[in-house]
Amino acid sequence: MRPALQAPLAALLLTASVAAPAAERDDVCAAAGVMPRELKTEDLRIASDTKGIELYLRNKRPADMRKFPADRLLLFVHGATYPAETAFDLPLGGFSWMDYLACRGWDVYLVDVRGYGRSSRPPEMAAPPEENQPIVSTNVAVRDVGSAVAYILQRRQAQSLNLLGWSWGTSIMGTYAAANPEQVQRLVLYAPLWLRKTPSLVAADGRLGAYRTVTVEQARKRWLTGVPPDKVQGLIPEGWFEAWAEATWATDPDSGKWDPPLLRAPNGVIQDGREYWAAGRAYYDPRAIRAATLLIHGEWDQDTPGYMAQAINELLENAAWKRLVKVEEATHTLIMEKNRMRLFEAVQAFLEEPPPADQPR
């Protein structure tokens, strides 16, 4: 097992506030299924625990929010290849998942681990990948989440918050929650990663360099792996994949240097996959998690098949309470598919419902 490392208190380096026109703000919450409500968005850069490495955070909340209770405070983290912003705050169908939460009175954050999205890229990413060993391991990612948590808790004068990870992000958040139970109220593991019985769709053979590159077409192929041929049409609403791909590849300032454009992603996660998940070794112990925990996955997920969520669920012996949900006709990327509302609604219900009568909140 690899324990989470407590990060030093993160220092705010830059704050930029972004506010959309009132009509657009009203339309967002109406599209998200609630009464019109003005939202406030802030883009933030904070220090990591490594000199020269800054982390990108985004905060979204109701503009009139004056109190910030811990049970309405949540942090998202991304998976192994793509950044947080285009997963959790891309307005598809008029609203994003962050919008959905903020419109319902939540104070929501996302963080990009170093090497992803708008966070600093380690210097190894400026060199050819073969010149360096894999960078940004799960241990490093847990430290970056620790920096984000420390900053958020200080900013909101809170003692704890809720965590949500997607894919590799479930390993990051699971590791952090296991090592820091007093800081985590509720934990959502969406498409959770665990010991492998099937090959990884992002694994690579041979020696690993510092990072790997991905094309848009490779991303599309991976997304649709395991979907029955007669169900491919209509799984992703028209224009959603293209909007996501354009926004995602734009987060890599070097993507346009290649034809077709390439997105760079650190290989530390791939190295960890070889040494832990594919080798039958768990990176963290779910039995150390005390927070109420939701495991949710898609029926057709080939990246993290359903047997992984079931195995973790059996090990959550000390969670305050737990729930396992499978969404039908959905892949690893359910977040941007026709059935995404089933994901949003199931997570929202878990976050907001009272705990069982015999359990503390």
107 Cβ contact list (under 8 Å, min separation 6): 59, 61, 65, 68, 72, 73, 74, 156
Pairwise CA distance, residues 38 & 22, whole Å: 7
Here the tokens at position 353 are 């419902």
Smallest CA-to-CA distance from 267 within 179, 206, 224, 309 is with: 206
| pLDDT confidence tier of residue 3, bands split at 50, 70 and 90 | very low
Q: What tens digit of pLDDT does each residue of 23-77 get?
A: 345 689 999 999 999 999 999 999 999 999 999 999 999 999 999 999 999 999 9
3-state secondary structure of 75: strand
Give domain status of residue 238, yes or no: yes
Percent of the chain at pLDDT > 90 equals 88
Residue 121 to residues 6, 31, 180, 253, 294, Cα–Cα distance (Å): 22, 35, 27, 10, 32
Check residue 202 and give its pLDDT.
83
Residue 104 covered by a domain: yes
Q: What's the token pair of residue 135?
A: 């960078």
Whether residue 358 lies inside any domain: the answer is no
How far is 172 from 166, CA to CA, in rounded Å? 9
Is 46 in contact with 55 (CB distance < 8 Å)? Answer: yes
Residue-wise pLDDT tens digits, 145-176: 999 999 999 999 999 999 999 999 999 999 99
Q: Which residue in the block uniquely carries the two structure tokens 């029926």?
A: 299
Q: How many CB atoms sit inside 10 A of residue 132's CB?
A: 17
SS3 content of the chain, % helix, strand, coil (to 5): 35, 20, 45
**Is 289 part of a structural domain of the chain?**
yes
| C-alpha R_g of the chain | 19
Residue 3 maps to a domain: no
For every residue of 178-191, DSSP letters joined together read HH-GGGEEEEEEES
Determine whether 211 is exposed, middle or buried from the number of CB atoms within 10 Å of its CB (0-12, 13-18, 19+): buried
Contact 166, 79 (CB under 8 A): yes
Give me the chain's average pLDDT, please: 92
For residues 87 and 89, what is the distance between their CA atoms, to the nearest angstrom? Answer: 6
First to last CA, the chain: 28
Range of the domain at 337: 12-352
* Across 6-20, 218-232, 342-356, least confident range: 6-20
Number of domain units in the chain:
1
Domain for residue 2, yes or no?
Answer: no
C-alpha span between 253 and 257 (Å, rounded): 9
CATH code for the domain of 283: 3.40.50.1820
State the pLDDT at residue 358.
Answer: 64
Report pLDDT for 359: 64
Nearest to 346 by CA among 188, 215, 131: 188
14, pLDDT greater than 50: no
pLDDT confidence of 81, banded at 50, 70, 90? very high
d(CA 172, CA 38): 32
Tell me the per-residue pLDDT of 108-136, one tens digit each, with 9 for 90 and over: 999 999 999 999 999 999 999 999 999 99
Q: What pairs with residue 165 in β-bridges?
A: 77, 189
Q: For residue 210, is it within any domain?
A: yes
| Residues 336 and 322: beta-carbon distance below 8 Å | no
